[in-house]
Chains A and B, each alone.
Chain A
Amino acid sequence: MELFDTVFYLFALVAVVSGAIVVLTRNLMYAAFSLLFTLFAMAAFYVLLVADFLAVTQVLVYVGGILVLLLFGAMLTTKLISVDLKTGTIHVIPALVLVAMVGGTLSGLFYSTWSDVGSSTQGPAAATTAPLGELLMTRFVLPFEVASVILVVALIGATWTARRNRSPLT
C-alpha cells in the first residue's frame, strides 16, 4: 500500500458513491451535483494514469460544459409552479437484475483476465500533451478533422433545433 493505491481507493470510493447517488436520488439537483463529483474523480483517475491533458480536458469539457448544459436543461424543463424538481423511476426490479448480471459479468471477466497486470507493464511516466498533439496531427489527422466537422455540424444543428420559433433560414 503506497500513495498511488491510497489515492486510487479514495477516489474509487468517491466515484462509486456519487455515481450511485446520480442514479438513485429522486432530486434532479442532487443528481447533477453528484455527477460533478463523479467527473472530478474520473479526472483524478486520469492523473493517476498519467493522462494529464485528458484530466484537464475532462474538467474543462465535462464539468465546465456538459454539466452546465445538463443543469440548464434541468432548470428549463421544469414547471415554475411546481419547483420540487422531483423525478420518478420505472421498472426498478428488472433493471436491478439486468445491471447485476451485466456488472457481475464485466467485473468477473475483467478480474479473471487482467488481475495479473500490475505496475510492471506501466512503462515510465512522461508528459503526454506534446506526444498526443503530434499523434493528432500525424497518424490521427483524418479522425481529428472528421471530429471537428462533426462538432461544427452538431453544434449548429443543436442551436437551430433549440430555437423557439423556427422561421426558415434566409
Chain B
Amino acid sequence: MESLPKVVPEFLAWLPRVGLSHFLIVSAVLFSLGVFGIVTRRNAILVLMGVELILNAANLNLIAFSRYSGLNLDGQVAAVFVIILAAAEAAIALAIVLNIWHRFQTVNIDEVSTLKE
C-alpha cells in the first residue's frame, strides 16, 4: 500500500485511513436500510429487496472480518453459502409472490391477511 501514489484531492484529505470499522459501519448502514425497507414497504417485491440488502450487509461483514484477520478464508466460504441460500430464497419467495398475485390480484402484504379465500 505504501507504494501507491496520492490520488486524493486536498479537500478530502481529512477523511481517515480505512480500517475494518469502516466496512463494518457501511454494512450496518445497509442492514438498517434493509430493515427499514422490510418494515415500511407494502409491496412484497420491495420487502424482498430489503431482505437482499440485509444479506449483502451480512456478507460484507463476513468478508471484511476474513480480510482483516490475515486473509482467513473461512469467512469467504461462509459468504459463498450465504449467496447460495439467497438465490434459493429469492426463487421460492418469487414463486410464493406469484401465487399470491394469482389468488388475490394484489401483492400488498397488508391486504393478504387470510390463509384462504
- A interface residues (Cβ-Cβ under 8 A, vs B): 1-6, 8-9, 12, 15-16, 19-20, 22-23, 28, 31-32, 35, 38-39, 42, 45-46, 49-51, 53-54, 57-58, 61-62, 65-66, 69-70, 72-74, 76-77, 79, 87-92, 94-96, 98-100, 102-103, 106-107, 110-111, 113-119, 121-126, 128, 131-132, 135-136, 140, 143, 147, 150-151, 154-155, 157-159, 161-162, 164
Given A6-B8, A9-B15, A117-B20, residue A16 in contact with residue B29 (CB < 8 A) = yes
Most buried by B among A51, A89, A123: A51
Question: Which residues on A sit within 8 Å (CB–CB) of B6?
Answer: 1-2
Instruction: Give the docked Cα–Cα distance between A73 and B17 (Å).
Output: 42
Asked if A132 and B99 sit within 8 Å, CB to CB, the answer is no
Main secondary structure, interface of A, reads helix
Instruction: Give the docked Cα–Cα distance between A121 and B67 (Å).
Output: 8
Asked if A72 and B94 sit within 8 Å, CB to CB, the answer is yes
